[in-house]
Amino acid sequence: MQTKPFRIGTRGSPLALAQAAETRARLMVAHGLPEEMFEIVVLSTKGDRITDRSLAEVGGKGLFTEELEAQLSAGDLDFAVHSSKDMPTALPDGLELSAFLPREDFRDAFIGRTAPSLMALPEGATIGSSSLRRQALIRRRRPDISVITFRGLVETRLRKLEEGQADATLLAMAGLNRLSMPEVATDVMDPRDFPPAPAQGAICIESRIGDCRILDLLEPINDAPTYDAVSCERAFLGALDGSCRTPIAGYAVCDGDHLRFCGLILTPDGSQEHAVELDGHRRDALRIGNQAGTMVRTAAGPGFFADWT
């Protein structure tokens, strides 16, 4: 019988803490355990400390997970809670994504200071975003728009916007909802025109492979449709060797046993793109995602990727 608290690893941002608290609350309900049986352990990651450059310049997605994964591998944490879109497709040996909470809204939110939507912005307006995907999609729709790098916590980016450093910015709607501030969005982007990052809006839990005690703990809070949808999206990324260095978008939707996936790759300037749509049974989620990635890579040809950094 567990007598010591389970140790939950997380980053220290308000959003990360909200995600860890949601995980703890679901586990308390699922197992009838008191709050003191779960200790939230906050770690600072390199991605949190470096905020003046884009992730593409400083190493990609792993910057938000390295410190947590090191302590998880060492046994100092029982499991770690992450934003799924921050996770590299290749995890350290011995670790796995063992559970996903029910997915929040995966769409992007537009926050306009001088106009309510992307298409309403005046010619030559400035949008702040550090995401290569968002930058490419903005340029695809509005090549006249100037895009500058915005990094930092949600609150930091909103403060930069208020200070007039840009006319607008884009954030994940899921994050705004989890921080109880959905009202700051002046528009919500249609995923058919402005598709999200793969795995956006989903909280994942990383644990040690074969740790049956923790797997049994997490199993009741795993949301199967989210698990299958995000697994499909991550397989798409994996087939493209995708990271924060590449403009890749994609999302899967489960309807009963059916899964539909839509994916898109773009050049950084948004001028060229290759899209794919596939569907099938949810049990084939990994195959569908991998096939979709292979299809767009083949259609694009090696020259399409030459300028990706």
Q: What is the pLDDT of residues 272-308, one digit of tens each?
A: 999 999 999 999 999 999 999 999 999 988 777 665 5
Query: Given this model, what pLDDT does residue 241 score?
Result: 75
Q: Which residues on neighbouring strands pair with residue 202, listed in sequence order?
A: none
10-47 per-position pLDDT tens digit:
999 999 999 999 999 999 999 999 999 999 999 976 55
Biggest alpha carbon distance in the chain?
Answer: 64
Lowest mean pLDDT among 55-69, 214-228, 265-279: 55-69
Are 54 and 149 in contact by the 8 Å Cβ rule? The answer is yes
Q: Is pLDDT of 245 > 80?
A: no
207-222 per-position pLDDT tens digit:
999 999 999 999 999 9
Q: Is pLDDT of 271 > 80?
A: yes
What residue type is assigned to position 189 of the chain?
M
What residue type is assigned to position 141 of the chain?
R
Residue 193 tokens, joined: 């025109």
Q: Is pLDDT of 227 > 60?
A: yes
3: which DSSP letter? Answer: -
Domains and CATH numbers, the chain: 1-101+202-222 (3.40.190.10), 108-188 (3.40.190.10), 223-300 (3.30.160.40)
Task: Give the C-alpha distances (Å, rounded to integers) separating 252 from 13, 32, 214, 233, 255.
Answer: 27, 33, 28, 6, 10
Query: Given this model, what pLDDT does residue 23 score?
Result: 98
Indicate the pTM of the whole model.
Answer: 0.91
Mean pLDDT of 225-247: 87
Are 230 and 113 in contact by the 8 Å Cβ rule? The answer is no
Query: Given this model, what pLDDT does residue 60 score?
Result: 55
Query: Given this model, what pLDDT does residue 3 score?
Result: 77
User: Helices (H), strands (E): how many in the chain?
Assistant: 10, 13
Whole-number Å distance between alpha carbons of 247 and 132: 5
Q: Is pLDDT of 243 > 80?
A: no
**Known catalytic residue: 241?**
no
pLDDT band at 65 (very low <50, low <70, confident <90, very high): confident
Neighbouring CB atoms inside 10 A of 119's CB total: 11
Q: Which residues contact 264 (CB under 8 A, 6 or more apart)?
A: 195, 248, 249, 250, 273, 274, 275, 276, 296
Mean pLDDT of 68-87: 95
Query: Given this model, what pLDDT does residue 46 score?
Result: 58
What residue type is assigned to position 36 of the chain?
E
Q: Which residues contact 82 (CB under 8 A, 6 or more apart)?
A: 19, 64, 65, 68, 203, 204, 205, 206
Query: Given this model, what pLDDT does residue 235 score?
Result: 96
Q: Is pLDDT of 58 > 70?
A: no
Query: Given this model, what pLDDT does residue 63 score?
Result: 65
Query: Given this model, what pLDDT does residue 286 score?
Result: 98
Q: Which of 52, 76, 86, 105 is catalytic?
A: 86
Query: Given this model, what pLDDT does residue 55 score?
Result: 54
Query: Given this model, what pLDDT does residue 152 score?
Result: 82
Q: State the distance between the two ends of the chain, measured CA to CA, in whole angstroms.
A: 50
Quick one: what percent of the chain has pLDDT higher than 90?
Answer: 83
In terms of Cα–Cα distance, which of 218, 213, 261, 240 is closest to 305? 240
Q: Is pLDDT of 159 > 80?
A: yes
